[in-house]
Amino acid sequence: METSLPWIILLSPLASAVLILLFAHRSKPLSVLLSLTAVFAAFGSTLLLFSSHSVVQTSATWIDLGPALHLTIGLKIDALTRVMLLVVTGIGALVHVYSTVYMAEDDGKARFFGSLSLFMFSMLGIVLADNLAMMFIFWELVGVSSFLLIGHWFTKPSAAKAANKAFLANRVGDFGFMSGILLVWAATGSVEFAGIQENLAKLTVNPSLLTLAGLCLFCGAVGKSAQVPLHVWLPDAMEGPTPVSALIHAATMVAAGVYMLARIFFILEPSPVALGVIAAVGAVTAVLAALMATQQDDIKRILAYSTLSQLGLMVAGIGVGAWGASMFHLFTHAFFKALLFLGSGAVIHALHHEQNIWKMGGLRRTMPKTFITFVIGTLALTGTPGLAGFFSKDAILLAAWHKSAFIFGAALFTSLLTAYYMTRLVVVAFFGEAWTPNAKHGHDCPPAMTVPLMILAVLSVISGYKFFAGSIFGEELFHSVHAAEHVSLVPILAVSVFSIGTAGAWFLYNGRSKDPVKIPLFRNKFYIDELYASLIAGTQDLLASFSSWFDHFILDGVIVRGISGLTWGVGYTLRLLQFSNLQGYAFLFGTGVVILFYMLIK
Amino acid sequence: MFPPITLEILVLALGFILLLAESFSQSTSKRSLAKSAVFCLAWIFALSFFVTSAPANPEPGSFWNFYSADPVSMVFKRIALLTTMAVLVMALEYEKVLAKNIPSAREGAGTGEFFILPLFTCSGLMLLASAVDLVMAFAALELVTISFYVMVAYMRGSHASLEAGVKYLILGALSTGFFVYGITWIFGLTGETHFTKIALKLASLQGSDTAILFALVLVLVGLGFKVAAVPFQSWVPDVYQGAPTPVTAFLSVGSKAAGFLLLLRVLEPFLGVASIAHKILLVLSVLAGATLIFGNLAALPQNNLKRLLAYSSVGHAGYLLMAVACVGVAPSALGSVGATVGFYLFAYLLMTLLSFLVLTIATQHTKGEEIQHFNGLSKRSPFLAFALLVAMSSLAGVPLTAGFYGKFLVFAQAVNASQWTLIALGTVTVGAGFYFYLRVVAAMYWAEPADASPIQVSGLSKMIIVLLVAGIFVFGVNPKPVLSAFQTQQTPLASAH
Amino acid sequence: MFLLCFMKSDYLPILLQVLVAIGFACSALLVSLLLGKATRRNATKDTAYECGMIADEGPQPRFSVKFYLVAMLFILFDLEIVFMYPWAVIYKDAILEYGASIFWSMFSFVGILTLGYVYAVKKGALDWKS
Is the Cβ–Cβ distance between A390 and A462 less than 8 Å?
no
What letters, b where the CB count within 10 A reaches 16 and e where it falls short, cover C1-21?
A: eeeeeeeeeeeeeeeeeeeee
pLDDT of residue A509: 86
pLDDT on residue B497: 37
CA distances from B285 to A101, B384, C85 (A): 67, 38, 47
User: How many Å apart are CA A102 and CA A209, to the nearest integer?
Assistant: 49
Tell me how far apart the alpha carbons of residues B218 and A282 are, in angstroms, rounded to a whole number: 73
pLDDT tens-digit map of B233-270: 888 988 999 999 999 999 999 889 989 989 988 888 88
Average pLDDT, chain A: 85
Residue C3, pLDDT above cutoff 60: no
Residues of chain B neighbouring C112 (CB-CB closer than 8 A): 16
Residues 6+ apart with CB under 8 A from A497: A412, A413, A415, A416, A419
Chain A residues near residue B297 by CB distance under 8 angstroms:
567, 570-571, 574
Instruction: Tell me the C-alpha distance between A104 and B241, whole Å.
Output: 57
Q: CA A290, CA A307: separation in Å to the nearest integer?
A: 9
- pLDDT beyond 50 at B318: yes
CA distance linking residue B97 with residue B360, whole number of Å: 10
Enumerate the β-bridge partners of residue A76.
Answer: A57
Could you give the CA distance from residue B476 to residue B472 in angstroms, rounded to a whole number?
A: 6
Q: What is the mean pLDDT of residues B1-17?
A: 90
Contact yes or no for B23 and C119 at CB 8 A = yes
Rounded to the nearest angstrom, the minimum Cα separation between C75 and chain B is 16
For residue B12, what is the nearest residue in chain C, using CA coordinates?
Answer: C112
C-beta atoms surrounding A48 within 10 Å: 14
A224-238, B341-355, C24-38: range with lowest mean pLDDT: C24-38
pLDDT of residue A587: 84
| DSSP, res C48 | -
pLDDT band at B491 (very low <50, low <70, confident <90, very high): very low
CA-based Rg of chain C, rounded to a whole angstrom? 30
B480 at the A interface (CB within 8 A)? yes
Contacts of A582 in chain B (CB under 8 A): 166-167, 170-171
Report chain B residues whose CB lies below 8 A from the CB of A64: 480
Cis ω before B231 (30° cut-off from 0): yes
Give the number of beta-carbon pairs within 8 Å between A and B.
88
B234 touches chain A (CB under 8 A): yes
**What is the mean pLDDT of the segment spanning A356-360?**
86
CA angle, C37 then C39 then C44, to 5°: 90
pLDDT band at C50 (very low <50, low <70, confident <90, very high): low
The answer to whether A243 and A99 have CB atoms below 8 angstroms apart is: yes
Per-residue pLDDT, B7: 92
Q: Average per-residue pLDDT in chain B?
A: 87
**pLDDT at position B387 over 90:** yes
Residues on chain C touching B23 (C-beta within 8 angstroms): 118-119, 122-123
Question: Is pLDDT above 80 for B352?
Answer: yes
Per-residue pLDDT at B123 exceeds 80: yes
**Residue A172: pLDDT above 50?**
yes
SS3 A35: helix
Contact criterion met (CB below 8 Å) for A410 and A495:
no
Among B114-118, B363-367, C24-28, name the one with the lowest average pLDDT: B363-367
Contact (CB, 8 A) for A321 and A274: no
Q: Using CB atoms, which chains have 3+ pairs under 8 A with B?
A: A, C
DSSP A524-574: TGGGHHHHHHHHHHHHHHHHHHHHHHIIIIIIIIIIIHHHHHHHHHHHHHH
The DSSP bridge partners found for residue A71 are A63
What is the DSSP-derived secondary structure letter of residue B11?
H
Provide the 3-class DSSP secondary structure of residue A519. Answer: coil
Q: Measured between CB atoms, does B135 come within 8 Å of chain A?
A: no
Q: Residue B220: which pLDDT band, with cuts at 50, 70 and 90?
A: very high
This complex has an ipTM of 0.82
Quick check: B411 contacting A, CB < 8 Å?
no
- CB within 8 Å of B339: residues ≥ 6 apart: B483, B486, B487, B491
> What pLDDT, in 10s, does the model give residues A515-572?
777 777 777 777 777 777 777 767 767 777 776 776 667 666 666 666 667 777 777 7
Q: Is residue B191's pLDDT more than 60? A: yes
Q: Which of B300, B405, B429 to mutate: most A Cβ within 10 Å?
A: B300
Q: How much is the average pLDDT of A85-96? A: 92
Mean pLDDT of A395-418: 90
C123: chain B residues, CB-CB within 8 Å: 23
Which residues on C lie below 8 Å from B149 (Cβ)?
none
Given a cut of 80, is residue A234 above it in pLDDT? Answer: yes
Instruction: Give helix then strand counts, H and E, for chain B.
Output: 21, 0
Percentage of the residues of chain B whose pLDDT score is greater than 90: 42
The verdict on a CB contact (< 8 Å) between B301 and A575 is yes
Residue B150 with chain C: CB contacts under 8 Å: none
Q: Where along chain B do its domains lie?
A: 312-497
In chain B, residues with a C-beta closer than 8 Å to the C-beta of C115 are: 16, 19-20
B298 in reach of chain A (CB within 8 A): yes
Q: What is the pLDDT of residue B103?
A: 82
Measured CA to CA, the distance from residue A31 to residue A21 in angstroms comes to 9
Reported as a single tens digit per residue, the pLDDT across C5-22 is 545 567 788 888 899 999
State the pLDDT at residue A171: 86
| The pLDDT of residue B496 is above 50 | no
Tell whether the model's pLDDT for residue A65 goes beyond 80. no
First to last CA, chain A: 71
Using CB atoms, list chains with 3+ pairs below 8 Å to chain C.
B
Q: What are phi and psi of A351, to 5 degrees?
A: -95, 25
d(CA C95, CA C102): 7
The pLDDT value given to residue B313: 93
Is the pLDDT at A162 greater than 80? The verdict is yes
CA angle in degrees (0–180, nearest 5) for C90-C95-C101: 100
Handedness of CA A558, A564, A567, A569 (dihedral sign): negative
Mean pLDDT of A484-495: 84
Over residues A328-341, mean pLDDT = 92
Chains C and A touch (3+ CB pairs under 8 A): no
Mean pLDDT value across residues B141-159:
91
More confidently predicted of B293 and A550: B293
Burial profile A525-550: b = 16 or more Cβ within 10 angstroms, e = fewer: beeeeeeeeeeeeeeeeeeeeeeeee
Identify the weakest region by mean pLDDT among B68-72, B121-125, B288-292: B68-72
Give tens-digit pLDDT for A37-63: 999 999 998 888 887 767 777 777 776
State residue B153's pLDDT score.
92
What integer is the mean pLDDT of B457-465?
89
b/e burial code for range B466-478 (CB count within 10 A of at least 16 → b): ebbbebbeebbee
B160 touches chain A (CB under 8 A): no
Which residue in chain C is spatially nearest to B112 when comparing CA positions?
C123
Q: What is the pTM of this model?
A: 0.61
Give residue C1's pLDDT: 46
Please report, as a single letter, which amino acid is at residue A253.
M
Residue of A568, A582, A592 lying closest to B301 (CB–CB): A568
Listed in sequence order, the residues at least 6 apart from B4 whose beta carbon sits closer than 8 Å to its beta carbon are B48, B51, B52, B54, B67, B69, B74, B77, B130
Rg (CA), chain B: 22
The secondary structure of chain A in percent helix, strand, coil, rounded to multiples of 5, reads 80, 5, 20
Are residues A432 and A511 in contact, defined by beta-carbon separation less than 8 angstroms? yes
Higher pLDDT, A144 or A1: A144
DSSP one-letter string for B459-486: HHHHHHHHHHHHHHHHHHH--HHHHHHH
Q: What value does the mean pLDDT take over residues A445-458?
A: 88
The neighbour count for residue A463, using CB atoms within 10 Å, is: 25
CA angle B359, B255, B314 (to 5 degrees): 65
- CB atoms < 10 A from the CB of B88, how many? 27
Average pLDDT, integer, range A102-111: 85
The pLDDT tens digits of the residues spanning B25-36 come to 877 778 888 999
Q: Which residue numbers of C have CB closer than 8 Å to B's CBs?
A: 112, 115, 118-119, 122-123
| pLDDT score, position B251 | 93
Cα end-to-end span (Å), chain B: 34
Stretch (H or E) spanning A70:
strand A69-77
* Helical spans, DSSP H, in B153-300: 159-190, 195-203, 210-227, 235-242, 245-250, 256-271, 274-299
For A299-304, what is the mean pLDDT? 91
Burial environment of residue A428 by CB neighbours within 10 A (0 to 12, 13 to 18, 19 or more): buried
Cα diameter, chain A:
103
**How is chain C split into domains, by residue range?**
65-122
User: Which of A585, A588, A593 is facing B167, going by the closest CB pair?
Assistant: A585
